[in-house]
């Protein structure tokens, strides 16, 4: 018997527990995965009660100060979505960038494309890291402009201001806008209509995806990233190959 948990503030929104239950069930593993809405500061009291953790929005950066070690990838990205337990050592890892890379495989000849990443939090950083590993130099914008300076020191990016965005082939939403389905994505239809691909890291019918689809953009749903970051996490937690089809079925068909 093993117990895993996801630390997130968007418990109602997350599809992770269903995906994990399906994965464990398909391999007959007597394991559990529950979502916990718990602030990083309260993590201390539960950290030894589980065999591993996933970390969701908005804790991916704040959780770092509560961990003992980071993998090189988590350190470079500056965000953690996976916590592994090695004895009493808690090690932060990042599999989001793998999820992003796999999700972007849907786009042909990606390295010739211009990309804009919207956001500067943990999810956006994983996307930027993935793009840099593909030798791409993304444009990056964020509501809080000061955060772009930090990114510039860490990654290869071109920072741009929201009122002065370049035309791009691919738009990646790395913000949490859209988790609340009533939120309007702050880019105009005129801008979106010139974008070929939208990869929204938020899953489901967000305002960005619904508008983008109407305007003729090709859409990549955050669920693609969810599957592949989860698959890598599954391998790290269990040492087994992830049952991708069971996971995919659980998150698309419920
Ligand atoms: P995580 O680390 O889990 O990705 P986060 O650190 O809270 O979560 O980052 C959230 C991102 O969404 C940030 O880029 C944030 O912009 P700010 O840096 O300006 O806060 C962005 N974001 C969230 N709500 C937003 C909104 N309503 N409009 C624009 N950007 C928003």
Spell out the per-residue pLDDT of the chain, length 254, in tens: 999 999 999 888 899 999 999 999 999 999 999 999 998 889 999 999 999 999 998 999 999 999 999 999 999 999 999 999 999 999 999 999 999 999 999 999 999 999 999 999 999 999 999 999 999 999 999 999 999 999 999 999 999 999 999 999 999 999 999 999 999 999 999 999 999 999 999 999 999 999 999 999 999 999 999 999 999 999 999 999 999 999 999 999 97
* Ligand 1 center from residue 124 Cα (angstroms): 9
What are the b/e assignments for 99-128, b being 16+ CB within 10 Å?
bbbbbbeebeebeebbbbbbbbbbbbbbbb
Half-sphere exposure of residue 94: CA atoms within 13 angstroms, side-chain side: 28
- Ramachandran area for residue 3 (φ above 0: left; ψ -120 to 50: alpha; else beta): beta
Mutation to probe ligand 1, out of 176, 180, 186, 187 (largest number of atoms < 8 A from CB): 176
- Residue nearest to ligand 1 atom 26, measured at CA: 177
* Ligand 1 center from residue 229 Cα (angstroms): 20
Check if 177 has its Cβ closer than 6 Å to any atom of ligand 1: yes
* Ligand 1 center from residue 19 Cα (angstroms): 25
For position 10, what pLDDT does the model report? Answer: 80
* Ligand 1 center from residue 86 Cα (angstroms): 32
| 201, 127 contact by CB (below 8 A) | yes
* Ligand 1 center from residue 179 Cα (angstroms): 11
Check if 9 has its Cβ closer than 6 Å to any atom of ligand 1: no
Check if 173 has its Cβ closer than 6 Å to any atom of ligand 1: no
| 20, 235 contact by CB (below 8 A) | no
Mutation to probe ligand 1, out of 175, 179, 183 (largest number of atoms < 8 A from CB): 175
For position 11, what pLDDT does the model report? Answer: 82
| 231, 19 contact by CB (below 8 A) | no
What is the edge-to-edge ordering of all strands in the sheet holding 158-159?
A: 158-159, 139-141, 115-118, 170-173, 197-200, 218-221
Check if 175 has its Cβ closer than 6 Å to any atom of ligand 1: yes
Block residue for tokens 């808690």: 90
For position 201, what pLDDT does the model report? Answer: 97
Q: How far apart are CA 223 and CA 114, in angstroms?
A: 23
- Residue nearest to ligand 1 atom 16, measured at CA: 143
Count CB neighbours of 231 within 10 A.
22
- Active-site amino acid positions: 60
Ligand 1 atom with the shortest distance to the CA of 120: 14
Quick one: DSSP state of residue 178? T
* Ligand 1 center from residue 128 Cα (angstroms): 15
Q: Which two tokens stand for residue 144?
A: 């809080």
Q: How far apart are CA 80 and CA 94, in angstroms?
A: 5
Element (H, E) at 2: strand 2-7
Mutation to probe ligand 1, out of 62, 143, 226 (largest number of atoms < 8 A from CB): 143
In sequence order, what are the residues at sequence separation of 6 or more whose Cβ sits closer than 8 angstroms to the Cβ of residue 113? Answer: 107, 136, 168, 169, 170, 196, 197
230: closest CA among 108, 58, 102? 102
| 163, 108 contact by CB (below 8 A) | no
């Amino acid at each position: 018997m093993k117990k895993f948990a996801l630390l997130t503030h968007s418990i109602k929104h997350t599809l992770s527990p269903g995906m994990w239950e399906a994965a464990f069930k398909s391999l007959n593993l007597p394991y559990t995965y529950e979502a916990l809405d718990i602030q990083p500061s309260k993590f201390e009291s539960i950290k030894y009660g589980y065999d591993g953790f996933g970390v969701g929005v908005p804790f991916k950066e704040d959780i770092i100060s509560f961990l003992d070690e980071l993998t090189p990838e988590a350190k470079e990205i500056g965000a953690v979505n996976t916590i592994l337990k090695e004895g009493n050592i808690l090690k932060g890892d990042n599999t989001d960038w793998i999820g992003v890379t796999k999700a972007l495989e849907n786009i042909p000849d990606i390295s010739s494309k211009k990309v804009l990443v919207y956001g500067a939090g943990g999810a956006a950083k994983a996307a930027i890291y993935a793009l840099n590993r593909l030798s791409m130099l993304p444009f990056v914008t964020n509501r809080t402009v000061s955060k772009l300076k930090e990114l510039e020191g860490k990654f290869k990016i071109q920072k741009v201001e929201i009122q002065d965005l370049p035309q791009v082939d691919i738009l990646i939403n790395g913000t949490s806008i859209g988790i609340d389905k009533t939120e309007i994505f702050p880019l105009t239809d005129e801008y979106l209509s010139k974008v070929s691909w939208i990869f929204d890291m938020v899953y489901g019918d967000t305002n960005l995806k619904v508008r983008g689809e109407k305007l003729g953009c090709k859409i990549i749903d955050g669920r693609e990233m969810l599957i592949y970051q989860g698959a890598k996490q599954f391998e790290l937690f269990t040492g087994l190959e992830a049952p991708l089809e069971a996971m995919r079925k659980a998150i698309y068909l419920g």
